[in-house]
Structure 1
Amino acid sequence: MLFFQTGIGVHIDNDYVSAVLLGTSFKGIIKKDCKVQYFAESTSFDEKLKIVSCMISDFVRNYGISSPYIHIGIPLGSVILRDITLPSAVKENLRTTVKYELEKYVPFSGEDLYFDIQNIAEDKEEKRIRVLLAAVKKDELKPYFDLIDLPGHGLASIDISLAAAVNTLAGLFPSLKCYAFVWLKNDRFEIGFVQDGFLNFSRVFKTSLKGPGLLSEIGRELETIQENLPDKSEGQKQNENLRVVLWGTLVDENLEEGVREKGFDLVNLNLYASPVSAQEFISPYGLALKGLKKVSNNFNFLPVNLRKRLSKAPLYAVITLCLLAVLSAMAWQGSLIVRTRSISSHLDKEIAILQKDAKQIDKIRKEYELLEKKIGYMKNGNPDKAFVLDIIKELSCIIPYGSWVSDLRFSDKGISIIGFAERASELIPLLDKSPYFEDVIFTSSITKTRAGKERFKIALKVLTAKNAE
Structure 2
Amino acid sequence: MLFQTSLGIDFQDTSVSVALLKTSINDVKLASYGTFPLSGESTAAEKFDQAAGFIGAFLKKAKISPACVFLSLPRNVVIIRYVDLPVALKENLQGSLRYEMEKFIPLPENEIFYDYQIISEEKETGKLRIFLAIIKRTTLDPYLTLLNRLNLRVSGIEFCSTAISNYFSDQKKTGKSTGMAVVSTGDGFVQLDFLKSGFLQYSRWFNRCENESDLSDRLSQEIRKLAEEHHGEGNGRLETMFLGDVSQEKLLEHLKEMDEIELHMVDLSKNKIPSFNLIPAYALALKGIRDVPTDINLMPAALRKKPNKAGQYVMLALAMLLILSAMAWGGGDIFSKRVYLGKLNETISQLETQVATIEKSRKGIKDVENQIDYLNALYSKSMSALDILKDLSERVPKTAWLRKFSFSEKGVTIDGWADSSSELIPALESSPLFKDVSFLSSITRDRSGKEIFRIGFKLN
Q: TM bucket by the smaller chain?
A: 0.5 to 0.7
2:240 aligns with one of 241, 244, 251: 244
Q: Is the 8 A contact 2:174 2:195 kept in 1?
A: no
2:229 is aligned to 228
TM-score (normalised: structure 1): 0.65
The 1:186–1:59 alpha-carbon spacing in structure 2 relative to 1, beyond 3 Å, is: closer
Q: Is the CA contact 1:10–1:72 (under 8 Å) kept in the aligned structure 2?
A: yes
Q: Which residue of 2 aligns with 1:195?
A: 196
CA contact (8 A) 1:15 1:41 kept: yes
1:414-436, CA deviations, whole angstroms, 9 ceiling, x for partnerless residues?
Answer: xxxxxxxxxxxxxxxxxxxxxxx
| Letter paired with 2:242 | L
Identity of aligned residues (%): 29
- Give SS of 2:230's match: coil
Instruction: Tell me the SS of whatever aligns to 1:267.
Output: strand
Tell me which moved more, 282-291 or 58-67: 58-67
Given that 2:166 and 2:283 are in contact with CA atoms closer than 8 Å, whether structure 1 keeps it comes out as yes
* Kept after mapping to 2: 8 A contact 1:82/1:105: yes
Corresponding residue of 2:279: 282
Work out the CA distance in 2 between the residues paired with 1:5 and 1:52: 25
Aligned residue type for 1:8: L
CA displacement, residues 77-115 of structure 1 (integer Å, 9 cap, x when unaligned): 111111100111222322222122111111222221100
Structure 2: distance between partners of 1:19 and 1:74: 13
Measure the CA separation in 2 of the matches of 1:55 and 1:317: 33
Tell me which residue corresponds to 1:266.
263
Following TM superposition, by how much is the alpha carbon of 1:19 offset from its aligned partner in structure 2, in angstroms?
0.5
Deviation at 1:295, TM superposition (A): 0.8
In the TM superposition, what whole-angstrom CA distance separates every residue of 1:127-169 from its partner, at most 9, and x where no partner exists? 2110011100000001111233223231111111111012112
Which residue number corresponds to residue 107 of structure 1?
A: 106
Change (3 A) 1:321 1:49: farther
Which residue, out of 279, 282, 300, partners 1:303? 300
Whether the 8 Å CA contact 1:3–1:25 is kept in 2: the answer is yes
Q: Could you say if the C-alpha distance between residues 69 and 43 of structure 1 is closer, same or farther in structure 2, counting changes exceeding 3 Å? A: farther
For residues 59 and 318 of structure 1, what CA distance do their matches in structure 2 show? Answer: 29
Mapped pair 1:157 → 2:156: yes
Paired AA for residue 179 in structure 1? M
**Cα shift readout 1:400-454 (whole Å, capped 9, x = no counterpart):** xxxxxxxxxxxxxxxxxxxxxxxxxxxxxxxxxxxxxxxxxxxxxxxxxxxxxxx
CA distance in 2, matches of 1:211, 1:189: 11
The Cα offsets for residues 307-334 of structure 1, whole Å up to 9 and x where unpaired, read as 0000111101110121123224434549
> Which AA in structure 2 matches 1:101?
E
Alignment-mate amino acid for residue 22 of structure 2: G
Within-5 A mapping of 1:15-34: 15-34=14-33
**Partner in structure 2 of residue 208 of structure 1:** 209
2:324 is matched with 327
**Amino acid of the residue matched to residue 261 of structure 1?**
E
Conserved? CA contact 2:6–2:286, under 8 Å: yes
Cα separation, partners in 2 of 1:188 and 1:15, compared to 1, 3 Å: same
Question: Bigger radius of gyration, 1 or 2?
Answer: 1
> Deviation at 1:286?
1.1
Q: Secondary structure at the match of 1:132?
A: strand
Alignment partner for residue 313 of structure 2, among 309, 312, 316? 316
Residue aligning to 2:363: none
The answer to whether the Cα contact below 8 Å between 1:181 and 1:191 also exists between their aligned partners in 2 is yes
- Matches of 1:66 and 1:321 in 2, distance apart? 23
Secondary structure of 2:305's counterpart equals: coil
Q: Distance in 1 between matches of 2:330 and 2:234?
A: 61
Work out whether residues 256 and 266 of structure 1, in 8 Å CA contact, stay in contact via their aligned partners in 2. no
Matches within 5 A, 1:25-424: 25-58=24-57, 60-176=59-175, 178-229=179-230, 238-248=234-244, 252-263=248-259, 264-331=261-328, 333=330
Contact map agreement 1:10 1:52 (CA 8 A) in 2: no
Q: Which amino acid aligns with 1:97?
A: S
Gaps of 5+ in 2: 335-460
The structure-2 alpha-carbon separation of the partners of 1:58 and 1:26, relative to structure 1 and needing over 3 Å to count, comes to: farther
Q: More deviation in 108-117 or 269-278? A: 269-278
How far the C-alpha of 1:7 sits from its partner, in A, is: 1.1
**Which shifted more, 190-199 or 60-69?**
60-69
In 1: Cα distance, 2:32 partner to 2:154 partner: 19
Say if 1:133 and 1:321 are closer, same or farther in 2 by CA, change over 3 A. same
Aligned partners of 2:16 and 2:215: how far apart in 1? 25
Q: Given the superposition, is the C-alpha separation of residues 138 and 71 from structure 1 closer, same or farther in structure 2, using an over 3 Å criterion? A: same
Deviations 1:36-58 (A, max 9, x none): 11131123444444444445445
1:241 deviates by 0.9
Alpha-carbon separation, structure 2, partners of 1:186 and 1:66: 31
Distance 1:253 1:113 in 2: 39
Do the aligned partners of residues 327 and 57 (structure 1) sit closer, same or farther apart at CA in structure 2, a change above 3 Å counting?
Answer: farther
> Secondary structure of the equivalent of 1:189?
strand
Aligned 8 A contact 1:6 1:68 in 2 = yes
CA-atom RMSD in angstroms: 2.6
Change beyond 3 A, Cα 1:208–1:182:
same
Once the two structures are superposed, residues 196-245 of structure 1 have per-residue CA deviations (whole angstroms, 9 ceiling, x without a partner) of: 221112122224245433322211111111121256xxxxx824111222
